[in-house]
Amino acid sequence: MKITLLLLCILSFTLSAQKNLRVNGEPISFDCAKVQTVDEMDTLTMPRVKIYHAVITNNCLELGVFYGDCPANLELVTDGKLIETQDLTLNFLLRYDKDSKPCQAENKTTLFFDILPYKNMRTGKYIILSFLGEKYHLVYK
């Protein structure tokens, strides 16, 4: 009984904390949100979220992220420019717009983004999706 009550309290706290979090101005859902296009990726001034998990499933990018307990809006942004190195790379940045009060990123959640519009950018068999400021690089076939 005590374990059940403890689990309910933890779930309630997690859900109430996640209510403060939005994606593209909308409540978080399991639908793939739109990736926002920006003119320039200003990595020095854009606040970021720490990504701990990234995978592509059916043209949907799944990102596991740490976030704080203060109200915030998350957006996955790209300038849509392919960078030619050994492979073709498309850069993304998970932008974190929050209230001015400081908050620690102690919570985890999963976000989903639609990357199908970038599939046609491939001139070969794949492109590399790179997340600025993160260690994740995914092959998008």
Least confident span in 73-77, 88-92, 130-134? 130-134
Q: Cα separation of 138 and 141, whole Å?
A: 10
- Tens of pLDDT, residue by residue over 36-59, are 998 887 665 666 678 999 999 999
Please give the domain boundaries of the chain with CATH numbers for all domains: 2-140 (2.60.40)
* Residues making up the chain, counted from first to last: 141
Q: Quote the strand ranges of the chain, DSSP E.
A: 21-23, 26-27, 33-34, 36-37, 51-57, 60-68, 72-78, 82-84, 88-98, 105-114, 127-131, 137-140
pTM of this prediction?
0.80
Q: What percent of the chain has pLDDT over 70?
A: 77
Share the mean pLDDT of the chain: 80
Tell whether the model's pLDDT for residue 11 goes beyond 50.
no
**pLDDT in the model for residue 18:** 56
Across the range 7-24, mean pLDDT stands at 55
